[in-house]
Amino acid sequence: MIINSIPCHFLKDTTCTIYQNRFTECREFPHLHKANFKARFFSTIQYYSMCPIIFNVTETLKDKLGFKFK
């Protein structure tokens, strides 16, 4: 339950305070390597403004795919 809170209890500004000792779920978050990512995309993107990992991955994908918001 500790890691299910948003924002995370261990996040200070945009830095993980327990990074070297973080939980396995945190090490794998946001689970981009797991199957069926497209089905989980909406639930992942809702944390875009709160999670530095999701923000950085999304911005990198936008650059690589040539995404332009008009």
Identify the pLDDT of residue 1: 46
- Is residue 53 in a domain? yes
Give CA–CA dist 60/12, Å, rounded: 23
Q: How far is CA 32 from the centre of its chain?
A: 9
Query: What six digits make up the tokens of 5?
Result: 């809170």
- Is residue 70 in a domain? no
pTM of the predicted structure, to 2 decimals:
0.53
The total number of structural domains that make up the chain:
1
Q: Which domain holds residue 20?
A: 2-65
Query: What six digits make up the tokens of 66?
Result: 């040539």
Task: Please report, in tens digits, the pLDDT of each residue of the chain (70 residues total).
Answer: 455 666 678 888 878 898 899 888 778 877 777 888 778 778 778 878 877 778 888 889 889 999 887 7
Identify the pLDDT of residue 16: 85
